[in-house]
Structure 1
Amino acid sequence: MEATTGPAPLDLTSIARAPKALLHDHLDGGLRPATVVDLAAQCGYDGLPETDADALGRWFRDAADSGSLVRYLETFAHTVAVMQDENGLHRVAQECAEDLADDGVVYAEVRFAPEQHLERGLSLDEVVEHTIEGFRAGESAARVRGKNIRIGCLLTAMRHAARSREIAELAVRFRDRGVVGFDIAGAEAGFPPSRHLDAFEYMRANNAHFTIHAGEAFGLPSIQEAVAFCGTDRLGHGVRIIDDIDVDAEGHPTLGLLAAYVRDKRIPLELCPSSNVQTGAVASIAEHPFDLLARLRFRVTVNTDNRLMSDTSMTREMHALSQAFGYGWSDLQRFTINALKSSFLPFDERLEMIDHVVKPGYAVLVG
């Protein structure tokens, strides 16, 4: 073996080799364009705007670049439409696990809303069963290629609907079979997290984990409710916490009460830089508050959100942040450890991955 001569360059190739942990990734936002085309033909869905895989991939990216969360969410009608039977759910979940493993992700919590996959007669339990079976098949296929990944499933309830308690019960029912937690998602404006208190109380009563989409587009009131009223374990996005941080002309930050509480309690922020730019939450990666939050020692994590719509991966997200803010390998390792510390894995399993997967993996890259 050749002796190492120093750190690997912080380029896309080297970052792809780094072990990564992902907490915020939507299953229905990460399909391969070719799979969408293929499944649409199989299930008879004729609503696709493009039937060429490359053109469809460009359409998803361009349609998501609207600067509006509501319009961004409209693109999911096409992916959800081809995930309505056993074949669609299993294939999408399997390919998700394989694609993440190929990107160097060693642990991922992938979320989806079972209530959106009932149009062809599947029950909620069947939807979850087929999806988890797909994840396991993907993990096995990745191992054959020498890539190890573990997928934990988050079950999401749509915040504009009225099934959150039912989905929370589903999450608890499957928590020993691959489901690691619960979430609510969808447009924030007009649908505050406190509408779903019954679901969150049920999760707490059953000693179960949950995260809440909050502070992506709506701002501090959404974060306040998620933290103070609902007791969330993590904040999905949470980027608008920056609105409670005042930076003076000399660059000195002052934290408001909510920002200070989130930092003091080490509530993890599931930040999704590229997605935040697409939905208009921030103007550009260079202007993203990620770096300020990281320097202030908030529990920041790097995430993809929707790999198809953002045409992204964990490697690309980390590379973009490194280019914008000058991060080195130690920073990327810290963000990865933040994610594993914040995961819904049991504590001893988190430590096992940090000590025996992440740290050795980064040590090789540092040289």
Structure 2
Amino acid sequence: MNKPPDNKVNLPPNLPALKWDKTKQSNFTSNEPVYLLMPRPNNSDNLKNVSPFLIQKAINSTCGEVEYCKKIISGQILIKTKNGSQANKLTTLTALSNTIIVEITPHKTLNYSKGVIYCNELRSIPESEILDELKPQNVCEVKKILKKVNNDLIETGLIILTFATTTLPTKIHIGYIKTTVRPYIPPPMRCKNCFKFNHVAKFCKSPKSCHNCASNNHVNDENQEKCNNITKCGNCDANGLTCTNHTTLDKKCPIFIREKEIQTIKITSQVDNKTARAIYKERHPHNNYTFAEVTSQHTSKQTTLNSQSEHQNSPHFNHPLAVQPTKPPTKPTAPTTNSLTENSMERQIMQYSDVMSESETDDSLESTSTSKQKIKILPKNTSKRLQSQIKKLNKKK
């Protein structure tokens, strides 16, 4: 059961219980927003049981209205100020009341931005020298990216720069060289205890598992240096994927690729983890279903198609008593004069001649009457050209 809010102190409108320490001045000079943390030292609950009205009044009376405030999982208050002057005033606040002591400090990561540059000319220059030269451009940390070749670390020309600003610059001057700065996308957060994502080993509640076979039976065996069991990925197995014949640390793992794309969305779009996952689901709607469901639907469709083809190819399908598929009857269309070719016209002439010859044998009439009958046999829509050719053919006969 939660404790009642810690707002027993009745504060007047001017809040005389607030305390400030003007010696704790910060040196924020930019007009960019600053992220601050308000923890409650020497208290495990932090500010979970403190009245939100008291916190809002304390912040507004110290520096005015800020951009936003929100409570994070640890119980601390995350504050985003509008500019550096608000942050300088807010860091002087030391107590909300006689019993609630706070300590407002800058956030360790949100006030900085990281970018990657490629400069081949900086391979032989040490990191300390690069940092001294780039400090006027708000660079506060330099780290080179190395690769391992034959057990030797070799520079790649890629350098991670940390800027003391929330907005990442697009260009940076390295002496006479103007280099493009790209956002640095860190690898997904992975636990070293269970090798799952989105938490660290400090807060892991799962048993320690092996990264090769996803088992937790032999991980505490100090004598076993290498796992000889069948390779199996625990993350793919937990998500219902069948392609588990790889280690959990494999960079081609589908779960690792998914988490890496979510991390890319989070950095490039500047959103939190929950929003980044929602964007990923919109881009990949098929991933909302498990792999087992997708494969079961595919196999069911394939089996029905195979059964139909086997039924048609079976010898019983061609049996005389078997019901054969019938095609819908097609209506005969009268030939048009524009679409008649020479071959089709000859066929029609032969058909009409056969009909007329039959009428001659059946009817013992005079030549004049037969000719009239021959003309009457022709359909009304017969072209004049076709009639003349039929007459010539009859005369020859």
- Determine which structure has the larger helix proportion and give its number: 1
Compute the TM-score of the two structures, normalised by the length of structure 2.
0.20
Compute the TM-score of the two structures, normalised by the length of structure 1.
0.21
Higher relative contact order (CA 8 A, sep 6+): 1
Q: Which has the larger radius of gyration?
A: 2
